[in-house]
Amino acid sequence: MKALIILDIQNDFTPGGNLEIEQGDSIIPLVNRLQDHFNLVVATQDWHPQNHRSFASNNPGKKPFDTTEINGRADTLWPDHCVQGTPGADFHPGLNTKKIAAVFRKGMDPATDSYSGFYDNDHKTPTGLTGYLKTKGVDETYFCGLAGDICVYYSVKDSVKEGFDTTLIEDAAVPLSNENYTIIRKELSAMGVKIIKSDDILQ
């Protein structure tokens, strides 16, 4: 069974948001069309408490995009974004959510960031996505959403590690950095990830 996994198409990651990705909203009509080609659609949602350690505002003397050590690893500090219960954390109003069977929230532990839809960054705490997909009989995962070089990237890598036949729909994901996206595309391909265009599904 195939599942479409939509990463973090939330207001704060689209134009006008606190951590906006340029043209992040441009893929929404495409993602909406893709949903009709899958029996199972799930989504992830960044859902941070206000005191999250990855926010630059909670690290005196630091500014957004600086790095700091969190739990023994170097992590990027971000503008406050996707704070629980705020409009910025809501799904973008243009995203069709009617077919989304389950939403997996991540980044809820104030001490640990969570890029992947499967695990937090220290890989100690799962979101439950793996178990859900396997219970549903999913063996093929298809990824789209935001940001292509961060949350989509880490989710795709974890999907491979969890044993799924994994595909990235590359034109249905928008990166924060196009340069990084080019680099990770090669890495994912070398891991066995299929990289396709949406037309491969929609045609």
Q: Which residues are catalytic?
A: 8, 106, 151
Both tokens assigned to 158? 């974890």
- Whether residue 147 has a cis bond before it, omega within 30° of 0: yes
Torsion angles phi and psi, residue 179, rounded to 5:
-65, -45
- Are 150 and 166 spatial neighbours (Cβ–Cβ below 8 Å)? no
CA distance 3 to 110: 30
Q: Of 111, 141, 121, 112, which is closest to residue 7 (Cα–Cα)?
A: 141
